Structure formats: structure tokens, C-alpha cells
Amino acid sequence: MNTEFDITRHFEKDLTLFSKENQNIVTDSINQYAPVFDIENGDPTHHIYQPCKIQLPEGLDSSLYVLQATNQISVLLTIEDDPLFDRKLITLIRVVNHDKLDNAFNAVAKSLYQNLHSVENVSG
């Protein structure tokens, strides 16, 4: 299965706010940990997780995750397996300091799932 990355403008803008050293650490973490994540089995490295359960209608699971790049920097991303095209699609959405993670995660979740009434149950 091929791994493909999609990078949002928000992610690109967020990344520029960090030092070059931290930008490199974030990039290295994404390349190292995101491809080994398995939707069915989770993350053997324990760097990718969902900080809270997003309540979606029966049969739907959230593809929104957090990758802990450092103790202070987190990346919000979606990971989706696409068996039709034999690929794993990783969309890099935001990169934030850990103290802003909860607000960023909730904002992204609400944006992604805005048409689903249960989004309001997103909490950490």
C-alpha cells in the first residue's frame, strides 16, 4: 500500500511559526510515525492517538488523529485507508503547541463533521 500526503494551507502556515529545528523534527516525526499507523490495529509507536472520542452516527469512525511530534508540538491529521487505490492517505491539517491542542482538535473536528449533530459531544 502506498502512502500519500496531502498538506493543507493551515498546516503550512502553522509550521512556519516554529523554528527550523522544530520544523525538521515535525517533518521527521510525520515521516517516521504516520506511515506505520494502521487504522485497524492502531499505532505501535504510541505517537498517534485520538485525545477524545468523537461521537459519530452508528457505523462511522473518525479519521482525525494527533501525532505527538515532541513533548510540546502536536500535529493534527487524518489517516484514511483507500483500498480502491491501494493507498493510505494522510492529510496534515494543523501543527500546534501542546497547550493549544484541545482547542485546535475541537475546532477541526467540528469543521470536519459539521453536518453531523453529534459533533457537539466532542470533548477532551
Helix (H) or strand (E) holding 103: helix 101-112
Give CA–CA dist 29/1, Å, rounded.
20
- Write out pLDDT tens, residues 42-75: 778 889 988 877 776 666 667 889 999 999 999 9
pLDDT band at 119 (very low <50, low <70, confident <90, very high): very low
Predicted TM-score (pTM) of this structure: 0.84
When the pLDDT of each residue in the chain is averaged and rounded to a whole number, the result is 86
CATH of 2-121, one of 2.30.30.90, 3.30.2310.20, 1.10.645.10, 3.40.50.2300: 3.30.2310.20
Apex CA 121: angle with CA 7 and CA 75, to 5°?
A: 25
